[in-house]
Amino acid sequence: MQSEAERTEFVVEEAGIRLDSYLSERLGLSRSRVEQLIEQGEVELNGAVPKKRAKPQPGDVIVVRVPPPESSHILPEEIAIDIVFEDSDLLVLDKPAGLVVHPAPGNRSGTLVNALLHKIKDLSGIGGVVRPGIVHRLDRDTSGLMIVAKNDAAHTRLSDELKKRKIKRRYLAAAWGHLAEDSVTVEAPIGRNLKQRKRMAVIEGGRPAVTHFRRLERWRAADLVSAELETGRTHQIRVHLLHIGHPVVGDGTYGPDRHKGFSGTDRGWAATLAKRARRQFLHATQLTFEHPRTGQPLDFHSPLPADLASIAEWARETR
């Protein structure tokens, strides 16, 4: 791990955004992590220690020093991970379903971060102690491609590209029922569910979220769809599909009993599909972006893993 804090400098181009929100977006950090850095004196605004509610103006200079992650708090573990690309700046891996990305209270081991600490000597410190190198996340039961940064410069550049919607992220999902059209764009703000805090929802005042859906196959009582993210909100694809009435097959949080809403022969088919889907049918199948140092175009693809591929094959044969 890096022994010294890395320094990142920003020149503000837009007005009216709170400092903690601005840095959260630019660095890909949680707001609480940004607040912690401000409280520790690791953030300067025009040479002075600011308040987290400060609103920088165009031309202001922000300097952030991010201490290296304290690896002793999170133990390295020998957990197999499938790395599909690696160089001195980043790696792209194919995460299996069931693997949690980073430690959380009550879940300090057996995560992707534990595996990365065992395998990789240097990781970006921007994510803090529990998220070293993590540029973006996948839900525990979502499989597929992820980017991990090895240094702060790469992490900052990749996070900035995410914010500017220059990183293409495409998923494959099975959605209950049938989309109204072959191509559907959902633009609906997402925030914490006001009644169930562990869930997200489309709510007024939520963070802007845009997902483009395209039907690839029409099954008897479900569609196989491609989902392309413009933004990266928590549970975005799952919440947006629920919002338009077509939750993800196998999603125990946002559509556990959706198969019961069908009638006739579709009801039996849907019940069988629900039994076959032992986890949510959602897979990160494509990542396309520019290398943060060289600018070289990179394009990675991951086919459906065996469990989802077998479900799709059954659905095609019985539709």
Q: 40-71 as b/e, with b when 16 or more CB fall inside 10 Å?
A: eebbbbeeeebebebbbeeebebebbbebbee
Q: Which amino acid is at 216?
A: L
Q: What is the pTM of this model?
A: 0.78
- Catalytic-role residue among 20, 139, 223, 251: 139
pLDDT score at 72: 45
DSSP β-bridge partners for residue 82: 94
pLDDT score at 318: 96
Q: With H, G, I as helix, E, B as strand and everything else as coil, classify residue 315.
A: helix
pLDDT score at 1: 40
- How far apart are the C-alpha atoms of 300 and 286, rounded to whole Å? 6
DSSP states along 210-252? EEEEEEEEE-SSEEEEEEEESS--TTHHHHHHHHTT-PBTT-T
- How far apart are the C-alpha atoms of 11 and 276, rounded to whole Å? 52
Fill in the DSSP letter of residue 177.
S
Spell out the per-residue pLDDT of the chain, length 319, in tens. 445 667 888 898 888 888 988 888 888 777 778 888 888 888 999 988 888 788 999 999 999 988 765 544 678 888 999 999 999 999 999 999 999 888 775 667 888 988 888 888 777 765 655 567 889 989 999 999 999 999 888 998 998 899 889 999 999 999 999 999 999 999 999 998 878 877 999 999 888 999 999 999 999 999 999 999 999 899 999 999 999 999 999 999 999 999 999 999 999 999 999 999 999 999 999 999 999 999 999 999 999 999 999 999 999 999 8
Q: How many CB atoms lie within 10 A of CB 6?
A: 18
pLDDT score at 71: 46
pLDDT score at 17: 85
- Is 122 catalytic? The answer is no
Tens digit of each residue's pLDDT (9 = 90 or more) over 284-312: 999 999 999 999 999 999 999 999 999 99
